[in-house]
């Protein structure tokens, strides 16, 4: 193995132990995935040395790749199974989509900014993530033709739970979405069963804005 890849593997192991497992993520599938996906390839070359740090990083277009722990927390909260079909709103760098694709059968991901969509698409193709289906559009209405989904993850902060997305969740489905104002949000988990929707609060978080018909209006 090349020296560089040994270094990144060691950094991933440290990230898993010190940031993810140490803070209570226990799902073995989730931990294994974070040991595997090359996070440094999802940021620009200039930021590669910081890729495994305990913080979000800029990915261009004023957007960010989330802090590793947040990606892990959201992934674990989705309670994923091998044969699940998952919808992600906010592809960004494509890192969260790659993490999901390591665990589930198929990932559908939507990104509204074309340059990020193209960049993520090229990278995920190069890394052979063929089970990720991508679209460039406003994802706040979901992806009706491909739904319903076993799990839905929104990786941008919404003013309210986007109701259209709940309609595209199967019975038994799980959804996580950051909800709040533009400066801070609470990570909300919703589960759907025969009796309806159940909500729990996983705690504070900070995401860029979900912009669209059922999110924030675009500001100039
Ligand atoms: N999951 C990403 C993090 C993305 S940051 C990763 O792993 O890197 C949030 C992303 O959501 C940004 O790229 C932003 O452009 C996108 N976004 C915001 N509103 C959106 C919308 N309505 N539909 C689709 N994508 C949206």
Query: What pLDDT sits at residue 2?
Result: 86
Between the CA of 21 and the centroid of ligand 1 the distance, in Å, is 26
Taking 60 as the threshold, does the pLDDT of residue 20 lie above it? yes
User: Ligand 1: does its nearest atom lie under 6 Å from the Cβ of 96?
Assistant: yes
83-86 contacts at long range (C-beta below 8 A, 24 or more positions apart): 84/149, 84/150, 84/151, 85/146, 85/149, 85/150, 86/149, 86/150, 86/151, 86/152, 86/153
Catalytic residue, from 66, 93, 141, 184: name it: 66
Q: Where are the domains of the chain?
A: 2-205
Closest protein CA for atom 26 of ligand 1: 90
Region 1-11: mean pLDDT is 91
Q: Counting beta carbons within 10 angstroms of the beta carbon of residue 56, is it exposed (0 to 12), middle (13 to 18) or buried (19 or more)?
A: middle
User: Ligand 1: does its nearest atom lie under 6 Å from the Cβ of 156?
Assistant: yes
Where does the chain have alpha helices with state H?
3-15, 28-36, 68-77, 95-103, 114-126, 163-167
State the fold for domain 2-205.
Rossmann fold (3.40.50)
Q: How many CB atoms neighbour CB 199 within 10 A?
A: 11
Region 105-129: mean pLDDT is 98
Taking 70 as the threshold, does the pLDDT of residue 41 lie above it? yes
Phi, psi of 180 (to 5 degrees): 165, -155
Query: What pLDDT sits at residue 220?
Result: 55
pLDDT 10s digits, 43-82:
999 999 999 999 999 999 999 999 999 999 999 999 999 9
Between the CA of 172 and the centroid of ligand 1 the distance, in Å, is 25
Query: Tell me, what DSSP letter sits at residue 116?
Result: H
141 is catalytic: no
Closest protein CA for atom 10 of ligand 1: 90
Query: What pLDDT sits at residue 185?
Result: 98
Which of 99, 136, 95, 132 lies closest to 117 in space, CA to CA?
A: 136
Classify the phi-psi angles of 156: left when phi > 0, otherwise alpha if psi is within -120 to 50, otherwise beta: beta
User: Ligand 1: does its nearest atom lie under 6 Å from the Cβ of 89?
Assistant: yes
Query: What pLDDT sits at residue 53?
Result: 98
CB distance 162 to 138 below 8 Å: no
Region 106-125: mean pLDDT is 98
What is the chain's alpha carbon radius of gyration, rounded to the nearest angstrom? 16
pTM greater than the 0.95 cutoff: yes
Mutation test of ligand 1: which of 43, 51, 90 has the most ligand atoms closer than 8 Å to its C-beta? 90
pLDDT 10s digits, 153-203:
999 999 999 999 999 999 999 999 999 999 999 999 999 999 999 999 999
- DSSP letters spanning 127-172: TT-TTEEEEES-GGG--GGG--EEEEEE-SBBSS--HHHHHTEEEE
Which of 19, 155, 37, 27 lies closest to 101 in space, CA to CA?
A: 37
Pairing type for strands 185-193 and 169-180 reads antiparallel
Taking 70 as the threshold, does the pLDDT of residue 133 lie above it? yes
Which of 99, 104, 108 lies closest to 70 in space, CA to CA?
A: 99
């Amino acid at each position: 193995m090349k020296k560089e890849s040994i270094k990144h593997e060691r950094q991933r192991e440290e990230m898993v132990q010190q940031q993810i497992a140490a803070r209570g993520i226990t799902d073995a599938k989730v931990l294994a995935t974070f040991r595997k996906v090359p996070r440094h390839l999802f940021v620009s070359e200039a930021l590669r040395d910081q890729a495994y740090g305990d913080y979000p990083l800029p990915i261009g277009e004023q957007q960010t790749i989330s802090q590793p722990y947040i990606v892990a927390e959201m992934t674990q909260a989705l309670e994923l199974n091998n044969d699940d079909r998952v919808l992600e709103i906010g592809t960004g760098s494509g890192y969260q989509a790659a993490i999901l694709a390591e665990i589930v059968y198929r990932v559908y991901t939507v990104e509204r900014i074309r340059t990020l969509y193209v960049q993520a698409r090229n990278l995920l193709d190069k890394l052979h993530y063929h089970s990720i289906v991508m679209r460039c559009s406003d994802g706040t209405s979901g992806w009706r033709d491909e739904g319903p989904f076993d799990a839905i993850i929104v990786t941008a902060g919404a003013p309210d739970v986007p109701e259209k997305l709940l309609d595209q969740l199967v019975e038994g489905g799980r959804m996580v979405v950051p909800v709040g104002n533009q400066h801070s949000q609470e990570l909300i988990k919703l589960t759907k069963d025969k009796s309806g929707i159940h909500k729990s609060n996983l705690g504070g978080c900070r995401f860029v804005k979900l912009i669209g018909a059922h999110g924030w209006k675009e500001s100039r």
